[in-house]
Structure 1
Amino acid sequence: MNILVIGANGNAGRRIVEKALKAGHQVTGVVRREGAIEGIPTIIKDALSLTKEELTQFDVVVNATSAFTPDTFYLQEDLTVLLLQALADTNTRLIVVGGAGSLYVNEDHSVQLYDTPDFPAEYLGLAKAQGKALDIIRKFSNVDWTFFSPAAIFDAEGPETDNYTLGSENFIVNNEGQPYISYETYAQILVDEIKNHKFGRQRFTAVQNA
């Protein structure tokens, strides 16, 4: 498939690019500066300047933008809206690298992880921004979207494994009771989803087993 990765030079983006190439896909990256990533074609511009014409030439658009600081939280919503409007009523899929904070911790889906007392205060703003982005996405029934929330412990240094457990809307833990996943495992699951298309118009999550 022909894939566009927005934020291709980020922690998640680089790994998604690598694994998509290994799987035989064509990959183009969106980055903000020349030389930010090598080995693939790039579109060098602010993601909020992407046009419908640029986006819809791809089979899949992956939003892996790193908007993790308070001055960039607005991107979680603004870029989401831009992508949804551009991809509405087209054949281009949207896959979003989401967050764990908006996962539900009860069966009636009335309490999210970021509502719990032990949720780290330093991540609350980001988690709520990502939750708002997901709320917006759910309103677009004319976009083939997937929102992939990682486990709460999202490890940039950890190893890859094919021993993992998938979930949907609820916060889950692994076989040792830990909400853990490495970036490497996450990226491989995301690339597998590009091929298998199991979670169309759904959110899903995953944890990595020991």
Structure 2
Amino acid sequence: MRIAVIGATGFVGSHIVEELVNRNQSIKAFARNTDKVLDSKNVAKVALDVNDVQALATDLKGADVVVSAFNAGWTNPNIYEDYMKGAKAIEEATKLAGVKRLIVIGGAGSLYVNNQKELQIVDAPDFPEEIKQGALAARDYYNVLKQDKDLEWTVFSPAPEMHQGTSGERKGTYRLGNDVPVFNAEGRSILSVEDVAVVIADEIENAKHINERFTAAY
């Protein structure tokens, strides 16, 4: 397959690229600084201005699927506005390029705290204030993308404790869910970033969550 990965040097995006390389996929890796993109014969590096829709569309042509691990920067004081603008630009460029599938790495904040679906995690009173604007942006963009009738879109919400996953650990196994976190016996939802990459690579290859959001954890 021909896979475009946007945000290829980020925390999640870099692991997705590595997982796809290990599966011998053909990758076009987009990043602001391509010097940090993984060197591989399977990887073509492309410098990215996420808001240049026409240029991005040109570079996306020929891809079978676009994976957006775009992040506007957690320390960016304008993270909400910049994320919404960038995410919408990627969506538009994907359509202009004639690519049908778009997989977006969203946030855990739009997951519901339980099966009653009365409260999303980002709206809980104990949600960390320092990441709230980014989480709100990911949640609000998910609501935007749900209205897109042209793309075969997928949104992946990582486990709430993705950052607590053992660094460097790739188990290759996980359990799937939809709108509520997947909890273990201790009531925690944990998945390493390495296994997030496994989840995304599996979704690229198997297309099990077209026009829906899903999550995963151990």
Normalised by the length of structure 2, the TM-score is 0.87
Q: Would you say 1:31 and 2:31 are equivalent positions? A: yes
Return 5+ residue gaps in structure 1 as ranges. none
In the TM superposition, what are the counterparts of 1:80-95 in structure 2 within 5 Å?
A: 80-88=87-95, 90-95=98-103
CA distance in 1, matches of 2:208, 2:196: 15
CA distance in 1, matches of 2:109, 2:201: 22
Report the 3-state secondary structure (helix = DSSP H, G, I; strand = E; otherwise coil) of the residue aligned with 1:43: strand
Map of 1:195 onto structure 2:
205
Return 5+ residue gaps in structure 2 as ranges. none
Aligned residue-pair number = 208
CA distance in 1, matches of 2:92, 2:33: 25
Report the 3-state secondary structure (helix = DSSP H, G, I; strand = E; otherwise coil) of the residue aligned with 1:41: strand
In the TM superposition, what are the counterparts of 1:27-106 in structure 2 within 5 Å?
A: 27-39=27-39, 40-49=43-52, 50-67=55-72, 68-69=74-75, 70-88=77-95, 90-106=98-114
Q: Which runs of 4+ in 1 moved over 6 A?
A: none
Check the 8 A contact 1:113/1:171 in 2, yes or no: no
* Alpha-carbon distance, 1:162 to partner: 3.0
CA distance in 2, matches of 1:147, 1:158: 24
Q: Which moved more, 1:77-86 or 1:137-146?
A: 77-86
- The Cα RMSD (Å) is 1.9
Q: Would you say 1:6 and 2:16 are equivalent positions? A: no
Q: Which moved more, 1:122-131 or 1:169-178?
A: 169-178
Q: Which moved more, 1:76-85 or 1:2-11?
A: 76-85
Report the 3-state secondary structure (helix = DSSP H, G, I; strand = E; otherwise coil) of the residue aligned with 1:146: strand
Check the 8 A contact 1:80/1:137 in 2, yes or no: no
Give deviations 1:40-73, integer Å, cap 9, x for gaps.
2111132222432222321111111232233333
Q: Would you say 1:110 and 2:124 are equivalent positions? A: no
Q: Would you say 1:133 and 2:141 are equivalent positions? A: yes
* Alpha-carbon distance, 1:101 to partner: 0.6
Check the 8 A contact 1:88/1:140 in 2, yes or no: no
CA distance in 1, matches of 2:181, 2:187: 12
* Alpha-carbon distance, 1:34 to partner: 4.2
Q: Which moved more, 1:55-64 or 1:106-115?
A: 106-115
CA distance in 1, matches of 2:3, 2:103: 10
* Equivalent residue for 1:147, pick from 134, 146, 155: 155
* Alpha-carbon distance, 1:19 to partner: 0.7
Check the 8 A contact 1:56/1:92 in 2, yes or no: no
Normalised by the length of structure 1, the TM-score is 0.91
CA distance in 2, matches of 1:158, 1:177: 23
Percent identity reads: 34
